[in-house]
Amino acid sequence: MSSIAVTENYYEKTMPIGKMGIWWFLASEIMVFGGLIGSYILYRLASAGAWAEMAHHVSTAIGAINTLVLLTSSLTMVLAHAAIEDENRRRAKLYLGLTVLGGLLFLGFKAIEYTTEISNGFTPLSGTFWAFYYTMTGLHGLHVLGGMIANFALFVMASRGTLWPNTHQRVEYCGLYWHFVDVVWIFLFPLLYLSY
């Protein structure tokens, strides 16, 4: 088996491989949510105001708190990245933990919200608005869960010193993904909670 020496100047100078990959991944993810959001807006326009009544029953308070929680967790993610740049393992561990906690809090509130809606009789079958509501928040929730798992893996790596050298770029990539999840929520929040 022959091998080639992968030296520093082997490649043309471009973006690092992992970062490039994550950006393409996010581009395709944007299109998935773009399809859903576009369909939601068109349906809502076509419903000639009938949806506003249904949209009245969502809990704006929980939605707003969740927005704050998610935005804060984006901040802690940035701080985790900054800590990595400073080679400060303890601080990185703290902020990664806080980010995971933020995601957990978000999903907790989401669970309370779903339970309230369903106990009030608003299920996905109660109308097209509710079907969109559960589909969009549900798909977003799955993305939050995915981000949390990734961040938790980084947290474990930060706790175990042996894996530490590998985490540097990964924190940045997970951060990009986590901000994407956040940005999607920034679109969902006004569409679902503020537009009655």
> Which positions lie near another protein, rule CB under 8 A?
1-7, 9-12, 14-18, 20-21, 24-25, 27-36, 38-39, 42-43, 46-47, 50, 124-125, 127-128, 131, 135, 139
String of DSSP letters for 48-76:
TTHHHHHHTTS-HHHHHHHHHHHHHHHHH
Of 3 and 162, which has the nearer Cβ to another protein? Answer: 3
Of 38 and 108, which has the nearer Cβ to another protein? Answer: 38
Tokens representing 19? 């970062």
Of 45 and 194, which has the nearer Cβ to another protein? Answer: 45
What are all long-range contacts of 24-31, with beta carbons under 8 Å and residues at least 24 apart?
Answer: 25/177, 26/176, 26/177, 26/180, 29/143, 29/180, 30/180
**CB 100, min distance to another protein, A:** 24
Q: Distance between CA 77 and CA 84 in Å, rounded?
A: 11
Q: Distance between CA 55 and CA 37 in Å, rounded?
A: 15
**CB 22, min distance to another protein, A:** 9
**Residue of 168, 141, 22, 148 lying closest to 81 (CA atoms):** 168
Of 29 and 191, which has the nearer Cβ to another protein? Answer: 29
**Cβ atoms within 10 A of the Cβ of 4, count?**
6
Of 2 and 162, which has the nearer Cβ to another protein? Answer: 2
Of 98 and 150, which has the nearer Cβ to another protein? Answer: 150
**CB 11, min distance to another protein, A:** 6
User: Residue 144 carries which side chain, given as an amino acid letter?
Assistant: V
**CB 102, min distance to another protein, A:** 26
Residue 30 to residues 35, 36, 78, 101, 166: CA-CA distances in angstroms?
9, 10, 21, 25, 28
**CB 10, min distance to another protein, A:** 5
**CB 85, min distance to another protein, A:** 18
